[in-house]
């Protein structure tokens, strides 16, 4: 996987995702926050919404993308998601998480050059969405 240097702007994005989920964390409702840096240099953040029936749950990345689009944004530079631990977990540290398969599709569909910030083996890394979704189906 090709990786890129993290910038101060990337750390600002991580801080915003952490701030959002810390502010809005609610047991069994919201435990993932995402922040999206748009090509127009705005940051949009959101939390996921949990549902009793899992397939109704909407990921934080999808909500951030939808919010950005609804605000007139069309290009995305970088996205990151942060997981807040449940109250019964021993480790209570926030952790950067990789987007799920559906979010990878969504990110790629709306911004195929978007960067994604990940944590792999306890090390922060940044890569392009195409690295996480190789050989994506296109028309």
For 15-72, what is each residue's pLDDT tens digit? Answer: 999 999 999 998 888 999 999 999 999 999 999 999 888 788 999 999 999 999 999 9
Instruction: Tell whether domain 8-131 is in CATH 3.40.140.10.
Output: yes
Rg (CA), the chain: 14
List CB contacts of 49: < 8 A, sequence separation 6 or more: 29, 30, 57, 58, 63
Q: How confident is the model at residue 34, as a pLDDT?
A: 98
Across the range 80-98, mean pLDDT stands at 93
**Diameter of the chain measured on Cα atoms:** 46
Q: Contact at 8 Å (CB) between 18 and 94? A: yes
Domain boundaries, the chain: 8-131
Across the range 107-134, mean pLDDT stands at 95
pTM: 0.93
Residues designated catalytic: 61
Q: How confident is the model at residue 139, as a pLDDT?
A: 66
**H or E stretch including 66?**
helix 60-70
């Amino acid at each position: 996987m090709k990786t890129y240097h993290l910038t101060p702007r990337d750390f600002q994005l991580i801080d915003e995702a952490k701030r959002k989920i810390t502010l809005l964390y609610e047991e069994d409702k919201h435990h993932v926050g995402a922040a999206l840096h748009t090509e127009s240099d705005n940051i949009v953040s959101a939390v996921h919404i949990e549902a009793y029936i899992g397939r109704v749950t909407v990921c934080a990345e999808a909500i951030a993308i939808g919010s950005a689009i609804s605000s007139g944004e069309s290009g995305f530079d970088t996205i990151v998601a942060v997981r807040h631990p449940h109250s019964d977990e021993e480790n209570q540290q926030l952790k950067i998480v990789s987007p799920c398969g559906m979010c990878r599709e969504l990110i790629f569909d709306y911004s195929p050059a978007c960067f994604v910030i990940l944590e792999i083996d306890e090390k922060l890394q940044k890569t392009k969405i195409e690295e996480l979704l190789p050989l994506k189906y296109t028309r």
